Amino acid sequence: MIISSWNVRGFNDPIKQLEVRSYLYQNKIEVLGLLETRVRLNNSAAISKKFSTYTIINNYSHHCNGRIWVFLDIRRVTVVSAQVHDQFIHLELLNNRTNKIVFLTFVYASNDAGHRERLWDELRRLNGKVTNWIVLGDFNIVKDMDERLGPNPLSVNEMMAFNQCLLDCTLDDLHSFGCEHTWTNKREATARVWSRLDRVLSNPSWLLEYPNTQVHVLPSGISDHSPLLVTVQDNYRPRKQFSYLNCWADHKEYDEMVMQAWGLPVRGSVMFKFFGKLKHVRKTLIKLHNTSYSRISKRVQEAKTALETCQNQLQMRPLDPTLFEQEQQLLNQYLIFKKTEKSSLAQRAKIQDVKYNDAPTNYYFSKIAARKHQVTIGRIMDRQGIEKIGSQDVNQAFVDYYRWLLGQNVVVNCESMTELQGNKILTSDWEGLCREIT
């Protein structure tokens, strides 16, 4: 699936219409949000006819200039529902290839800070009604206070409101490639201003379902804003990596299991034995995780339900000693699971700041998903300068490069090798380095 957002800063110009048409077809875009069109309603039909293969949804019902136009390739996506607002268009779409529902919100935020406050409130309202969700467009603000280069500097209060909105909606910036800034005033060098006003945000559900989503910020071309090109690889599943969780060490059988795994015999050189023993320990810890720590959030909920059921029974039989003992066991189990959940999620999300200690579980999941996305290489330039996109082409580009780098037949002059030897250590020092470790 290919999605895009572009602030074209006026769409009445026939040259801009041709540029957008070319952009749509060259990139095979399925959904495009065109922002700041400035097209009057009486001119919209004539312009729309030039894009006959696309269905267009706009927001003239909420703004006289139809500030947002959404182009949809109905051969590839089906509109399930649409909500129109003066600052956004929210769509529930069915991907015709995968039969999966996705939610897209194209944003063109107001220049007025008070109006933008209403946008943050609307995003919070939408948050409770969506699953796999992307929010993209021109937010007309700069997120980071030290990056205040754009035309709409934020007050401290609005910055707090915007950041709180992202936290409430568990929305996070998708890692992007290409141009660093998305807007420029295009003035001469001494008066040139750069900023990042356009962005793509996603919730944790999106990154868990589509972990290989890539955002490419393209050159601005005819506009003062860069188009945002979002490519979604539907069937990509990254290989799971082994990560040690500190909570494993609290398990009562941890020491015994690790010692048994380390004691298993391995034949070969010293280094081969070392890695063989590590592999045995790794398999043991994975088994421990699967039996005691997998689906930890679900285990927490199940333990809580069991505890509440027992406590309800105690209300009816308050003197039953069996229920007293059962309640204590269930309470201990629930507290252990809760502590383990918090520890593992915080470690996987790399959260160390104490202010997040009591944050909701969704916050941790959003950070975990965002970290997984940031370490994914979705685009790369090969040795010939050709851009490779997608996991298979990127992997092959790495293989080809190192094959070229390391696979060359090189003639070595043995006579010159003696010049590289340098000084040698004394025999006594060598024996000291090789002595048995105590």
CB 152 within 8 A of CB 140: yes
Domains in the chain: ranges and CATH: 2-231 (3.60.10.10), 246-374 (no CATH), 379-433 (no CATH)
The angle subtended at Cα 182 by Cα 179 and Cα 187, nearest 5°, is 105
pLDDT of residue 32: 93
pLDDT of residue 3: 92
**pLDDT digits over 370-403, tens only?**
555 555 666 788 888 888 876 778 888 888 888 8
Q: Is 390 left (phi over 0), alpha (psi -120 to 50) or beta?
A: left
Alpha helices in 71-219 (DSSP H): 113-127, 156-168, 204-209
pLDDT of residue 240: 66
Beta strands of 54-111 (E only): which ranges? Answer: 55-58, 68-72, 77-84, 88-95, 100-108
* Separation between Cα atoms, residue 47 and residue 49, nearest integer Å: 5
Instruction: Tell me the whole-structure pTM to 2 decimals.
Output: 0.61
* Separation between Cα atoms, residue 71 and residue 377, nearest integer Å: 29
Long-range own/partner contacts, residues 92-99 (CB < 8 A, 24 or more apart): 93/31, 95/1, 95/234, 97/1, 97/234, 98/234
pLDDT of residue 350: 59
* Tokens standing for residue 86: 């003066």
* Separation between Cα atoms, residue 17 and residue 20, nearest integer Å: 5
| Distance in Å from the first CA to the final CA of the chain | 60
* Separation between Cα atoms, residue 119 and residue 107, nearest integer Å: 9
Q: How many CB atoms lie within 10 A of CB 336?
A: 16
Ranges of the chain with pLDDT below 50: 145-149, 353-360
pLDDT of residue 149: 47
pLDDT of residue 237: 57
CA distances from 126 to 36, 84, 120, 133, 384 (A): 23, 12, 10, 10, 45
SS3 letters for 6-41?
EECCCCCCHHHHHHHHHHHHHCCCCEEEEECCCCCH
Q: How many CB atoms lie within 10 A of CB 314?
A: 15
User: What amino acid occupies position 26?
Assistant: Q
* Separation between Cα atoms, residue 199 and residue 162, nearest integer Å: 14
Nearest to 349 by CA among 325, 374, 324: 374
CB 73 within 8 A of CB 53: yes
